[in-house]
Amino acid sequence: MQGASAAGDERELELSPEAMRAMVRQAMERVVPFVESLPRQPAADVSGALELARSLAEPLPQAPTPLPELLDLLFRDLLPKSFNAAGPGYLAYIPGGGIFHAAVADLIADAVNRYVGVFIAAPALVQLEANVVRWFAGIVGYPETARGILTTGGSLANFTAVVTARRNRLADDFLRGTIYASDQVHHSVVKAAILAGFPEGNIREVASDARFRIRLDLLRARLAEDRAKGLEPFLLVGSAGTTNTGAVDDLAALAALAAEEENLWFHVDAAYGGFLMLTERGRERMRGIERADSVTLDPHKALFLPYGNGSLLVRDGAALRRAHTISAHYMPEMQEDPDLIDFCEYSPELSRDFRGLRIWLPLKMHGIEPFRRNLDEKLDLTEWAAGELAKLPGIEIVAAPQLTVVAFRIVKAGAAGPELNALNRRLLARINARQRVFLTGTMLGERFVIRICVLSFRTHRDRVEAALEDIRAALGDV
Ligand SMILES: Cc1ncc(COP(=O)(O)O)c(C=O)c1O
């Protein structure tokens, strides 16, 4: 495609049919080989990337640049200098996915640019997104009264949950309200509470047990102590898959405590673990989640969507609506029929992308089975990896898999504390230096551990075997 002429005219941004086709064709000529080569790309390569990043700072462009030149810059120079987060060797943090279908859905959604913030603007498209939310509610085991929203990720979902709990359970003067979670809870929950207006001191991180699950005895004691001080406990956050170790709190016990003993809003952060409920093992481990008042689920984790896809479900949909409804004269009339959803009445957002299409399209094209099979495979692979690690001399499994994370470290006679941690950091660096897999570490109390998280739909047995080979080889080096 020709770059626009410098002289141009005011119609220059309205591409001709031919120009649209050419643009997509040229992009696809780069995208397809790139995606196809993901397994052969280094698992992570950011050498020189800092200098590269600095070299890119530039003023607002005044002159046009031809598309091929820009695609070259992206695919040849920039993309290779990053973590290969869509590749099979990405066993770090919580892997995202990147199913291609979502990219096609985005192309359609962005090109047609219909408005889904209010029902009346595109009733049928809003219904597709409402279907996606309903499917998710079904996975969690929620009743018909549940409602929810698609967000850009788990952080925004957790934030919306905290605001919803606050607006439903506390008065406008809410600073005596206190929030409870384990010391393993994702930091987005703490951030959400702060952004929702709570001082950091109102967030109680309760110690966890040997399997990294919140200790109920300590939780009860802390609640009693706070009530005695005249504080207002109102929100309990459980984890269904912590980022550190994949630990799942005893959700049934937490739900009972929240509803029957303490009258708390019970939110479950299932951003990572939630979609594992598609499997029998996941459902068993997350029993009790259906009693939560709200649940965060991230399609860009265990539903293999690309980054930018989270969701929040609220069991009593009216509570979500109460927390977010504000009217204005310029807005169209909102729907009264509870089956017809104005998403802006349930969400902090008004104008936004038609993000439901990204999820609707692959689920309709494939049905849920391939997703379920993939997740079962990831559970198996993690158990297999843990079993193999346990056979290695000097390796201690610090957190056995509850979902698809296993955490381990090397132990050495006479080495402890910072010295042992430094040894494990070296081991991690050696494993990653081979560039077939990319692992990350974390601190569990005073212990630095290395994690393997198997969650990408592109990760299969061959890559987990490669991880084990590289761990064995690296053990010989440290
Ligand atoms: C358990 C958990 N909760 C919340 C989040 C935050 O989600 P996001 O990064 O999509 O904002 C993450 C991110 O990894 C997570 O693992």
Q: Is the pLDDT of residue 367 over 70?
A: yes
Model confidence band, residue 414 (pLDDT cutoffs 50, 70, 90): confident
Residue 205 has pLDDT above 90, yes or no: yes
Global pTM exceeds 0.95: yes
- Counting from 1 in the atom list of ligand 1, the atom nearest the Cα of 242 is 1
Burial 39-55 (b: 16+ CB within 10 A, else e): bebbbbeeeeeeeeeee
Helix and strand numbers (H, E) in the chain are 16, 11
Model pLDDT for residues 249-303, shown as the tens digit of each residue:
999 999 999 999 999 999 999 999 999 999 999 999 999 999 999 999 999 999 9
Which ligand 1 atom lies nearest to the CA of residue 152?
10
**SS3 track for 447-478:** EEEEEEECCCCCCCHHHHHHHHHHHHHHHHHC
Digit-coded pLDDT (tens) for 97-118: 999 999 999 999 999 999 999 9
Task: Name residue, tokens 């994370």.
Answer: 405
- Give the per-residue pLDDT at 104: 98
Q: Which two tokens stand for residue 140?
A: 């969690």
**pLDDT for res 356:** 98
| Partner residues linked to 177 by β-bridges | 232
Give residue 7's pLDDT: 57
In the predicted model, what is the mean pLDDT of the chain? 97
Q: Could you tell me the distance, in angstroms and rounded to a whole number, from the CA of residue 305 to the centre of ligand 1?
A: 14
Q: Determine the pLDDT at residue 341.
A: 97
Ligand 1 centroid to 93 CA: how many Å?
10
Please check the confidence at residue 5 and state whether its pLDDT lies above 70: no
Q: pLDDT (tens digit, 9 = 90+) per residue, 218-241? A: 999 999 999 999 999 999 999 999
Determine the distance separating the centroid of ligand 1 and the alpha carbon of 73, expressed in angstroms: 31
Span from the CA of 301 to the centroid of ligand 1 (angstroms)? 9
Q: Is the CB of 249 under 6 A from ligand 1?
A: no
Distance 266 CA to ligand 1 centre (A): 18
Choose the residue to mutate in 90, 93, 94 for probing ligand 1, maximizing ligand atoms within 8 Å of C-beta. 94
Question: Which residue CA neighbors atom 16 of ligand 1 most closely?
Answer: 243
SS percent in the chain: helix, strand, coil, step 5: 45, 15, 40
Does the pLDDT value for residue 3 go beyond 70?
Answer: no
Q: What is the model's pLDDT at position 477?
A: 87
Q: Which of 242, 272, 286, 305 to mutate to test the pocket of ligand 1 (most atoms within 8 A of CB)?
A: 272
Please, are residues 203 and 195 in contact by the beta-carbon 8 Å criterion? Answer: no
Task: Specify the amino acid at residue 228.
Answer: A
Q: What is the percent of the chain where pLDDT is above 90?
A: 97
- Express each pLDDT in 155-179 by its tens digit: 999 999 999 999 999 999 999 999 9
H/E stretch holding 237 reads: strand 232-239
- Mean pLDDT in residue range 65-69: 98
pLDDT band at 4 (very low <50, low <70, confident <90, very high): very low
Which pLDDT belongs to residue 164?
Answer: 98
State the alpha helices, DSSP H only, in 15-99: 17-36, 49-55, 67-72
Mean pLDDT to the nearest integer, 403-410: 98
How far is residue 71's CA from residue 323's CA, in Å, rounded to a whole number? 44
Query: How does strand 447-453 pair with strand 294-297?
Result: unpaired
- Kindly report, residue by residue over 293-331, the tens digit of the pLDDT: 999 999 999 999 999 999 999 999 999 999 999 999 999
Question: What's the pLDDT band for 416 if we cut at 50, 70, 90?
Answer: confident
Tokens 């997703």 locate to 371
Q: How far apart are CA 2 and CA 19, in angstroms?
A: 8
